[in-house]
């Protein structure tokens, strides 16, 4: 019995070996025998809409659907790179969309699941942009653009993001401890799993006198990263390139 979590794969045509690693992971005995597989956002480097006719979305849909067809539920939560992903693609890919901040019971322990970007409250510039681009109006406006225009727009957004990341202090881009405590308190949990910061770790601390933990998933730039949650405990590990 085990449930698997991944996030921040940032799949992109420029790193085909990572796309293959993702496909191999979903086709592995470990994934096929899992109780469920969760993808907590930033599966791709950029998502321009469910109507994207490129090869990468088609490969993703095939891989996740094949796992679903073997009876393993696949859950997906959008991140800041793929927040334009919607129900159309979810149906095509055979996965269930989860809202950021969903609580799922994992072997008797309620666990808060987030992408993680909303916890980075010290990054005011980022949070301002986030609020703006997540409105239904903004999303509708972008999705009404022709695919080619959206591709160009996404490339520009990635450049802006790189510039921001390069010029912002590391501590500002990490999660804020109070935001973490608030979210966990509101959700009534002592365990949180998220990605986004690319700082894989298991943080153990006290929350209102209770032992609590925050597990941060790793990115898939140099290799993979998987969290395995089982009744007997959790294991966060790297996945070597085949």
Q: Residues in the site for Mn ion, rule: CB under 5 A?
A: 42, 79-80, 196
Whether 94 and 63 have beta carbons less than 8 Å apart is answered as no
Whether 193 and 111 have beta carbons less than 8 Å apart is answered as yes
Nearer to Mn ion among residue 123 and residue 213 (C-beta): 123
Minimum CB–partner distance for residue 139 and Mn ion (Å): 17
Nearer to Mn ion among residue 34 and residue 192 (C-beta): 192
State the burial class of residue 28 (Cβ atoms within 10 Å of its Cβ: 0-12, 13-18, 19+): middle
Q: Which two tokens stand for residue 1?
A: 């019995």
Question: By C-alpha distance, which of 119, 125, 48, 39 is closest to 85?
Answer: 48
Distance (Å, rounded) from C-alpha 7 to C-alpha 43? 6
Minimum CB–partner distance for residue 73 and Mn ion (Å): 23
Residue nearest Mn ion, CB atom distance: 196
Nearer to Mn ion among residue 79 and residue 224 (C-beta): 79
Nearer to Mn ion among residue 9 and residue 226 (C-beta): 9
Whether 195 and 8 have beta carbons less than 8 Å apart is answered as yes
């Amino acid at each position: 019995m085990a449930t698997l979590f991944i996030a921040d794969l940032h799949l992109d045509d420029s790193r085909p070996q990572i796309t293959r690693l993702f496909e191999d992971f979903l086709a592995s005995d470990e994934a096929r025998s899992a109780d469920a597989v969760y993808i907590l956002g930033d599966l791709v480097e950029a998502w321009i809409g469910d109507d994207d006719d490129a090869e990468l979305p088609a490969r993703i849909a095939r891989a996740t659907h094949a796992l679903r067809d073997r009876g393993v539920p696949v859950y997906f939560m959008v991140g800041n790179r793929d927040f334009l992903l919607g129900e159309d693609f979810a149906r095509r890919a055979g996965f269930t969309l989860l809202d950021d901040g969903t609580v799922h019971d994992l072997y008797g322990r309620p666990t808060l699941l987030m992408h993680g970007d909303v916890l980075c409250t010290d990054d005011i510039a980022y949070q301002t942009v986030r609020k703006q681009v997540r409105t239904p109006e903004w999303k509708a406006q972008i999705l009404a653009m022709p695919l080619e225009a959206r591709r160009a727009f996404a490339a520009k957004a990635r450049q802006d993001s790189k510039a921001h990341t390069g010029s912002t202090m590391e501590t500002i881009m990490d999660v804020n401890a109070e935001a973490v405590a608030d979210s966990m308190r509101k959700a009534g949990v002592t365990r949180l799993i998220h990605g986004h910061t690319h700082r894989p770790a298991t943080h153990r601390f006290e929350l209102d006198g209770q032992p609590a933990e925050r597990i941060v998933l790793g990115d898939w730039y140099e290799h993979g990263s998987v969290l395995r949650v089982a009744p007997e405990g959790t294991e966060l590990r790297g996945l070597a390139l085949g």
